[in-house]
Chains A and B, each alone.
Chain A
Amino acid sequence: EIVMTQSPATLSVSPGEGATLSCRASQSISNRLAWYQQQLGQSPRLLIYGASIRATGIPARFSGSGSGTEYTLTINGLQSEDFAVYYCQQYNVWPLTFGGGTKVEIK
């Protein structure tokens, strides 16, 4: 099983600032990496797939990058609705696995 490790666990950011979230896979996942946002009390929403492709309707302030085992989600100019928990997920190998999540909170 591929282990996905997200860091940091919690990120405190002021509105308008940027945030960088990291995700590391225990082995190469060939860019088959997705990012999801989960707001409090809501179901998850797809943000990024293929490591860097924004899903339909996702604002350009969200961007993904990386390759191999190291991936990053960058959020520019955080808005109030961006304070949430973010999960990475690999879909290269069964079983599919998620990272433990990064909570982005208001500083």
Chain B
Amino acid sequence: QVQLVESGGGVVQPGRSLRLSCAASGFTFNNFGIHWVRQAPGKGLEWVAIISHDGGNERFADSVRGRFTVSRDNSKSTLYLQMNSLSTEDTAVYYCAKGSSSFYYPHMDVWGKGTTVTVSS
């Protein structure tokens, strides 16, 4: 079955960096865009970023643009989120989610269980 497993979360100091990974299985990874979505403690969902099926297109939320980058290794069916200049406002559970298309007009049809990022001194 389709599965997404996030890893790499943890506690990090403000201003530092962290890289999250998302390992995918059960579908043809290089056919679909993949999203990152986050949820701060007790809050709602916030879309963070998407990368297209081939890595050639990306979009970011204003709140992370210029600090976060997204990449993928289709040979490993793995997605990455590089997070730099972290602040306490980035504290959240980070989910990766499979897009419904290669890039455009993509809802999220399968979600991982998430990995927790805590930014604290």
A97 is an interface residue with CB less than 8 A from chain B: yes
Docked-complex contact B47 and A98, CB < 8 angstroms: yes
With a CB–CB cut-off of 8 A, which chain B residues contact A97?
Answer: 47
With a CB–CB cut-off of 8 A, which chain B residues contact A101?
Answer: 44-45
With a CB–CB cut-off of 8 A, which chain B residues contact A99?
Answer: 44
Counting contact residues on chain B (CB < 8 A from A), the size range is: 20 to 34
User: Assuming A32-B105, A92-B105, is B95 touching A98 (CB within 8 A)?
Assistant: no
Docked-complex contact A44 and B107, CB < 8 angstroms: no
Docked-complex contact B45 and A43, CB < 8 angstroms: no
Q: Which residue of A lies closest to B99 (CB)?
A: A91
Counting contact residues on chain A (CB < 8 A from B), the size range is: 20 to 34
Hey, what's the 0/1 contact readout for B84-102 against A, CB within 8 Å counting as 1? 0000000000010100100
With a CB–CB cut-off of 8 A, which chain B residues contact A36?
Answer: 45, 108
Docked-complex contact B59 and A43, CB < 8 angstroms: no
A96 is an interface residue with CB less than 8 A from chain B: yes
With a CB–CB cut-off of 8 A, which chain B residues contact A1?
Answer: 62
Hey, what's the 0/1 contact readout for B62-76 against A, CB within 8 Å counting as 1? 100000000000000
The CA of A45 and the CA of B45, in the complex, are separated in Å by 12
Docked-complex contact A98 and B44, CB < 8 angstroms: yes
Query: B52: shortest Cβ distance to chain A, in Å?
Result: 12
With a CB–CB cut-off of 8 A, which chain A residues contact B107?
Answer: 32, 34, 46, 49, 89, 91
The CA of A38 and the CA of B97, in the complex, are separated in Å by 14
A66 is an interface residue with CB less than 8 A from chain B: no
Give me 8 other A-B pairs in contact (C-beta within 8 A), A45-B111, A49-B109 excluded.
A43-B111, A43-B113, A44-B108, A46-B109, A89-B45, A95-B60, A98-B45, A99-B44
